[in-house]
Structure 1
């Protein structure tokens, strides 16, 4: 009765704030739905009362203007409000840890996690019924080090078990690629990682995978979305209490199996015996501490670690952002590497699916590489090494493929093409690369009659796939995500660290350096440079601006920049685009603009952050090493000027 009276009082306050205080109609509607649902705890009701009494319409609008989207990759958003209430904060100001997730339909909290898990279970159960699978749906959950990650992990496992499914969790934080591996290793129906990758500390996420170990793609993604959206709010309270009595906690054998999987990515493990590779590693307070380091040690490597960043910490206190592509996040590692005359440093983000690196320059200082440069180095080395070891023919072949995203450097297209290797471009998001791996595996198994693909060694897979389908030689994306082979079906920073160490050791043994190797790639393929421009628009008003930019690109595409006319405009949301395998690229609001100058750029809204991104690509021919320096400077100046013009144009479109 007491909670019912609280609900009625708060509903009246919502109506008043909507009428007089700037509460958006959509926010008011969602607040009423939540208050009338009867599932909110006293803590959540008190928090809403505090915000309503303060007349904080801006905070309530951000929390309730929409339902947090369960998109094709799951959910990601704030779990700590911009203005946290007293009960949500608890002693956060002194301890650094909030007491409760923020209440709101656009927040990641106990209610949205329960609803998402119920929807996922409903889809998994229906899938089992359709496929004639008699056993209960099997679900694996991993989590990173963020605020409430363990709570959300245990909550999801509890919900699954209460519904009659089998749920598996780890005893502590684990990396995203280990979840992908575990889904396949355990034969699970699906899996989830509780993570927001390298987002700010106030965010968290619910990232969903299916039985192949890859992020969900059609029809599974849309099927799960439909089930989540159809899950009623009424009754959520029945699942809020956590019961782990029927949940299985995975043991050390899964950690060992995954560490061996990472070590197996190095196909020339003898190279580490030929030289003394000196490296630094930092997990930036994340799961790389329990994922990357054990795998490197299994290979006989013992990198120096940054002690201040080795402990788990939800606030990532030593960096502005736990993003390994930012030089600021690598400052401590850089200092340690230069003090110890190291050859390279490696850093992983909180869930260890992205890797950033810096390498020693001629002056002994560390030089930060871009995600495109790292991927290009890996692609050239991997293809060359596979040829050297006779895994693939010297002339290449169209039954071997490098798989990358459209917005990743065309240098990698050139590298693969010059090696005689097929290039397959996908939409942004590693799930599309994972889908390709599943398609290649399924085709090979169907044609060969093989039923136990996962029992094959990497060499046996290479032979099978080249005979019956397509062998994946390497893949990645510009945003620091790479995957050396198909044992895991998502980007894997742990495996990327192992592979990059293999490359560094090989070059050092030959008396060469990583930067010399990169320049040799440019001399062979031409000089390529990439740039990224982005505009950040927070909240409800920001989402409208991002939508406006995307809408106007479709309705009134640009015609020229800096005196160079647009020679080609591709709208992936309208046009039919086929990949080299003849598969149609799914429709998406992605635009490619090519200029007569030979430069080009792509436009897309971020799927995980409140921003719109512009990916710029410059290319110049190189006739000799003596002109490479001048060409690098010229290309950078041209690309910077183009980026400024593109962002200025986008700003006008946002306000139009």
Structure 2
């Protein structure tokens, strides 16, 4: 096919896809550019193959826009096209960042560049493995070298690790290093806990935090306005003397700073099971715990840095997903461990598992970890006379209000209504350093006790300006040791908090919606529920609605980034319960945060009474989540059966629809003629596109469906097929 015929075919096929005309036209223009511009020549074999295969939906999604410069950077699937993360989208980000730094930073410009363990292997099977693809095998380190070459070409000095280093600089250590070295800014190549085929670039300012509105908008504008990129080969940048190796004393100072957060130096009796989930955390959390004197055993199968995350369920190295810590819990049970600690690949999120009343290990949510650490630190500082005169606790609005109750009981000031994103907590510390106040709260950064976010983000020292699993880890280990000496566990400590302050049932329901249609659906849901909010959710009356777009209540928008961050709706229910809806700032999903609040039972309440209170509140939270999800999807004319709501939040909406409409009828038919290993193999083939460990993502949904069928048909043949399906998912 000649070039003219090829371009004519693009025009025809892209305009056949159901999408807004502007989306179709933008995709066509970008695709034409990538097919005709020599700088993208290495990608042409794959692009031509995708065209030959008729992968028009993929091409539309890859080319209809430039990957958005979101909350502090760009993150997304590694791939070909402007709406993917690749050397071009990264280098254009760096070029824009340089322009921004020239406007704001003082003196000679320098940046610290860090990277995680990722490597692109096309595990999703998007491209043809038999054709050349320059992205295959690209590590975060390789992207970091692209970034370093772009900075150096613009005269910006780069501090980074040498290529032969076996060390990694995790996100919180990057924040610390920027401040320690007095650098102008920083960059981390990481996609945090995303799928292994994702990557990103996250930018930091000279304070070690991320820019907030309106400065993040100005930086995004600088990036989006770039029409020329200056680059140097990495070796040439080294030869030019513009790349310096990070000195060892930075890491040593970072470890020492976290060890110094100790609140109970005598409490070292806990046995810690730790997993970095194949990420960088062994060099932060692991080192800090050992330097502090704890006995730490690492989960061997997850200890080696490996960007494919091969031994993590679903390849999802996220402590928010309890299954990711399953190996740690099994090891703790076998080795008589007291607590399991985990962190995501860039070691900023902390995960915790502890023994419950039944002796089995259970994972704690980010809200529970936040409540435990806020209570422990405030309590311990008061007991030892080390509390500052004006203690300050900071949290985001979607984080449990249990933290607010705890802080106020201890006499601490609370800034508790921040927008989602730890950058806003870091900005509080910057404001205290520079202005001595934030709104009506006066103080210094040394008054800071703790900053918490429900997504397992904890910060316990102002010397770092982003969430840090290491600082949280040392306090959790100390509390576990103190509890062990009392013959108790972290779960017992948490239950004591619930008895005193009331049980808060917190639940997160996410809905991944991919592609241009997903973006449109997320936008339509927000618009519709803003204009016509629900009056009842799961039978509970909505007493009022808080809309963060209300400029009379929350002030004028500072920028488009501010508008985006404030796209938050809060539906208030009785007794302080609430649902909060917002689109994610880093992933193609919207998130619903549910909080059900109960009254305190008192310290004398027995275990049965507390368990009953928890059960009722958790059921209410689940019902609220389910009903709100149904109402939300109705806005975009999507109706899922109840069992499809039990599919893991990791599974995109289009897969959930496919599961209900195709997979369930198909497995019903297959189970009449197959069972055992044959049925399992068939299921795995059908669910292959869901990713690693796909059966585990839908097991709860299958069980709910089977239970509904048992209630309507109890014939022998039906019982046999149900048993075969249930066995296949066991």
Task: Establish whether TM, by shorter chain, passes 0.5.
Answer: yes
Q: 2:478 aligns with which of 485, 497, 502?
A: 502
Residue from 88, 102, 109 that aligns with 1:125: 102
Q: How does 1:347-366 map to 2 (within 5 A)?
A: 347-366=342-361
CA distance in 1 between counterparts of 2:437 and 2:160 reads 30
Q: Determine if the alignment matches structure 1 residue 440 to structure 2 residue 432.
A: yes
Distance verdict in 2 for CA 1:301–1:466, change over 3 Å: farther
Alignment-derived partner of residue 413 in structure 2: 422
SS in 2 for 1:15: helix
- Preserved contact between residue 270 and residue 478 of structure 2 (Cα < 8 Å): no
- Give the Cα separation in 2 of the matches to 1:600 and 1:362: 29
Indicate the residue corresponding to 2:197 in structure 1.
202
Aligned 1:351-430 pairs, distance under 5 A: 351-392=346-387, 399-425=390-416, 426-430=418-422
- Equivalent positions of 1:486-525 (< 5 A) are 486-525=462-501
Q: Which runs of 5+ in 2 are unaligned?
A: 120-138, 556-560, 639-730
Q: CA deviation at 1:289?
A: 1.7
CA deviation after TM superposition for structure 1 residue 512, in Å: 3.2
Q: Tell me, in whole angstroms, the C-alpha distance in 1 between the residues paired with 2:375 and 2:425.
A: 19
Q: What does 1:511-590 correspond to in 2, within 5 Å?
A: 511-577=487-553, 587=563, 588-590=566-568
Deviations along 1:178-212, whole A, 9 cap, x unmatched? 11111111111111111111111111111111011
Q: Return closer, same or farther for 1:576/1:271 CA change in 2, 3 Å cut-off.
A: farther
Calculate the aligned-residue CA RMSD, in Å: 2.4
Compute the displacement of 1:221 (Å): 1.1
Q: 1:153 to 1:367 in 2, by over 3 A?
A: same
**How far apart, CA to CA, are the structure 1 residues paired with 2:420 and 2:28?**
34
CA 1:597 to 1:389, structure 2 compared with 1: closer, same or farther past 3 Å? closer
Alignment partner of 1:254 is 2:273: no
Alignment check: 8 A CA contact 1:75 1:207 kept: yes
Maintained 8 Å contact 1:177/1:492 = yes
Whether contact under 8 Å (1:376, 1:412) holds in the other structure is: yes
Q: Distance in 2 between matches of 1:19 and 1:416?
A: 57
Structure 2: how far apart are the matches of 1:224 and 1:8? 39
- 2:152/2:231 contact within 8 Å kept: no
Residue number in structure 2 paired with 1:594 = 572
SS at match of 1:592: strand
Which of the residues 301, 311, 329 maps onto 1:308? 301
Distance 2:445 2:458 in 1: 22
Query: Per-residue deviation at 1:326?
Result: 1.9
Q: 1:635 corresponds to which residue?
A: 617
Inter-CA distance 7–38: structure 2 relative to 1 (3 Å threshold) = farther
User: SS where residue 655 of structure 1 aligns?
Assistant: coil
Classify the secondary structure of the residue corresponding to 1:374. helix
The residue number in structure 2 matching 1:76 is 75
SS of residue paired to 1:529: strand
How big is each residue's C-alpha offset from its partner over 1:463-492, in whole Å with a ceiling of 9 and x where there is no partner? Answer: xx9866772111111111100111100000
Distance 1:546 1:570 in 2: 19
- Whether the aligned pair in 2 keeps the contact of 1:573 and 1:590 (CA below 8 Å) is yes
C-alpha separation in 1, matches of 2:226 and 2:323: 43
What is the alpha-carbon distance in structure 1 between the residues aligned to residue 600 and residue 548 of structure 2? 32
Counterpart check, 1:267 vs 2:269: no
Distance 1:392 1:60, change over 3 A: same
- Contact 1:72/1:225 (<8 A) preserved: no
Name which of structure 1's ranges 186-195 and 588-597 shifts more when overlaid on structure 2.
588-597
Retained in 2: the 8 A contact 1:145–1:314?
A: yes
> Match of 1:111?
88
Q: Is 1:443–1:469's contact at 8 Å kept on the other side of the alignment?
A: no
Partner Cα separation in structure 2 for residue 6 and residue 146 of structure 1: 38
Counterpart secondary structure, 1:271: coil
Q: Deviations over 1:323-359 (max 9, x none)?
A: 1122211111111100011110101111101011101
Greater CA deviation, 243-252 or 139-148? 243-252
- Checking the alignment, whether the CA contact within 8 Å between 1:622 and 1:628 is kept in structure 2 is no
Q: CA deviation at 1:277?
A: 1.1
* Residue pair 2:391, 2:449 contacting (<8 A) in 1 also: yes
Show CA shifts across 1:600-624 (max 9, x none). 1100011111111110001111334
Give runs of aligned pairs for residues 10-49 of structure 1, distance below 5 A: 11-18=7-14, 24-35=24-35, 37-40=37-40, 42-49=41-48
Q: Deviations over 1:438-484 (max 9, x none)?
A: 111113499xxxxxxxxxxxxxxxxxx98667721111111111001
The 1:445/1:533 distance shift into structure 2, 3 A limit, reads closer
